[in-house]
Amino acid sequence: MNIINIKILFLFLIESIFENLPISSTFYIILISNLINIDYNYVKDILNLINFSIFLSIYLKFKEKLNFILFLKLLITLLPILIFNIYIYKYLKFIINNLIYLLIIFIIFSIIIIFNKLIINNIYSYNNNIKNEISIKDSLLIGIFTCLSFIPGVSRLGSTILGGLLCLVNYNIIIDYSYMLNIIIKLLILLKTIYEYLIINDYNINFNIKSIIYNKYILFIIISNILSFIVSKITINYFYNYLKESKENFINFGYYRILLVTIIFIIYYIINNNNNNYNSINRFYFF
């Protein structure tokens, strides 16, 4: 196994961990790709190959809670997400290659999570109409709010949870709903990957997945999926229970995100001062 494969495997495991947390896996993949000197645009397509392991780990966790009515509601939530992905997401990709934009978005969403304590908790305290079931209207509104996750630095799991809380959905119910929505999203991404790279033979991609599947790297992909499944399952089991304990635990991720951004700013400030090559914060770029 060469050094590139080791780096890709490491990114697989990072994706498997942070995809199940409300802290934006894309942010970590971009950041860590930069730290280990590998182009994010080079690996973003191959990361889709572990969606099966993440999908399977989440499905096994929630399969007993899924039913036909809930599945229909999840599809309604998915509708605005698909529309947003097709027509708007392409205009937001520029954020990925600029650290300052990414950090700003990351910290804004962190503040929104923390303000949940001041706003949503108060709404819960004085409102007796907390919903123990997600309505069709709620499903659509949650889907619209989840579209925020297409902005790099915004967590899909976190935005779905916040959307549900703003709709006055019971906290424990929206936690389950957020994870189950991820089941469908991961399945769709996997099917899209198979269709694009194995059926329509799309070679105009940043990383040639077909060359991996049809050559010696097939074993690498299998091993990566097995390891990703194990890591994803462990992560879900632990952090799902952590999130379910209280809304305070969800808010803690907001504090964590702000602490992380502060550390990154300090590190880059030190590097910039030492190199004397960057006189402005606008020079923060990944690539």
Cα distance between residue 60 and residue 66, in whole Å:
11
Q: 154 by DSSP, 3-state: which?
A: coil
Q: Sign (positive/negative) of CA torsion 206, 209, 211, 215?
A: positive
pLDDT at residue 144, rounded to an integer: 94
Assigned token pair, 255: 């504090």
Ranges of the chain with pLDDT below 50:
202-207, 209, 213-214, 277-287
- Could you tell me the CA-to-CA distances from 27 to 18, 40, 182, 197, 252 in Å, in that order? 9, 11, 18, 25, 18
Cα distance between residue 26 and residue 85, in whole Å:
15
Cα distance between residue 188 and residue 143, in whole Å:
16
pLDDT at residue 94, rounded to an integer: 67
**Is residue 30 packed enough to be buried (19+ CB in 10 Å), middle (13-18) or exposed (0-12)?**
buried
Closest-CA residue to 225 (of 1, 61, 63, 16): 16
For helices 156-166 and 171-194, give the axis angle rounded to 10 degrees.
140
CB atoms within 10 A of CB 219: 9
pTM above 0.85, yes or no: no
Tens of pLDDT, residues 89-127: 777 766 666 767 777 888 888 888 777 666 666 666 666
- Could you tell me the CA-to-CA distances from 238 to 7, 8, 21, 128 in Å, in that order? 25, 25, 10, 31
Cα distance between residue 173 and residue 164, in whole Å:
9
Cα distance between residue 152 and residue 267, in whole Å:
21
Long-range Cβ pairs for the range 185-189 (8 Å, 24+): 185/78, 185/81, 185/156, 186/51, 186/52, 186/54, 186/55, 186/58, 187/51, 187/55, 188/78, 189/48, 189/51
Q: 169 by DSSP, 3-state: which?
A: strand
Closest-CA residue to 244 (of 136, 161, 183, 181): 161
Residue 284 phi/psi, 5-degree rounding, is -75, 105
pLDDT at residue 117, rounded to an integer: 63
Cα distance between residue 286 and residue 131, in whole Å:
43
Q: Is 155 left (phi over 0), alpha (psi -120 to 50) or beta?
A: beta
pLDDT at residue 275, rounded to an integer: 61
Closest-CA residue to 50 (of 185, 250, 224, 255): 224
pLDDT at residue 220, rounded to an integer: 78
Tens of pLDDT, residues 229-253: 999 999 999 999 999 888 788 888 8
Closest-CA residue to 48 (of 83, 6, 11): 11
pLDDT at residue 96, rounded to an integer: 64
pLDDT at residue 119, rounded to an integer: 62
